Amino acid sequence: MSSCPHVSPAGILCVADQCHGLRELALNYHLLSDELLLALSTEKHVRLEHLRIDVVSENPGQTQFHTIKKQSWDALIKHSPKVNIVMYFFLYEEEFDAFFREETPVTHLYFGRAVSKAMLGRIGMNCPHLIELVVCTNGLQPLDDELIRIADRCKNLTSIGLGECEVSCSAFVEFVKMCGRRLTQLSIMEEVLIPDNKYNLEQIHYEVSKHLGRMWFPDLMPTW
């Protein structure tokens, strides 16, 4: 349904009412509402296991995104406690204001465009169920504090990928130390890591490998 522009929330509910085996649902964010989540939470035969939400800017700089209330998310989680909530973001930095202002039970987050430090800070504060985080680009703003907050509060995090970002080597080691061996996927470009007075790029792979309990090296940018 994420690729069907003419589907309405009422249409989604009709499908949910008729399809008693419905376990997965994918939709564009503009179809998501408090009313829809609350309605899905009252369908006794619907126990969602996978909810994918695509957040796409159709008119950059002109789209106003609405906020989903915490109570609506709570109702969905109570009704379908095993659901994975996956959100794909393709927005510009100035369009993130409506998201993660309150606790949100998102489990997987993918950012296909630049995401601000403020947004990543809110993720650390309000996404305690987060399992996977992928950030393609953040620009040249060090994310030390944001990563430490995510490690501290997102106790289920097992996978992270960072592309065009900046993180000091010391902060990155601390992040891995806090997460420990539950980090089963750790994909970080070498260019992300900024040497400091404690670690350089030659030392960091040893420290990170020690805390992960396995051999680890940063990813290298292809030369071709």
What range does the domain containing 93 cover?
9-165+174-188
Q: Please determine, for residue 1, whether its predicted confidence score (pLDDT) is greater than 60.
A: no
Domain count for the chain: 1
Give the pLDDT confidence score for residue 2 in this predicted structure. 43
- CATH number, domain containing residue 161: 3.80.10.10
pLDDT at 7 over 60: no
Is 214 a member of any domain?
no
Is 114 inside a domain boundary? Answer: yes
pTM, to two decimals: 0.88
Give the DSSP letter string of 65-128.
-----HHHHHHHHHHSTT-EEEEEEE--GGG-TTSSSS-----EEEEEEE--HHHHHHHHHH-T
> pLDDT (tens digit, 9 = 90+) per residue, 211-223?
999 999 998 765 4
Rg (CA), the chain: 19
Q: What is the mean pLDDT of residues 43-51?
A: 85
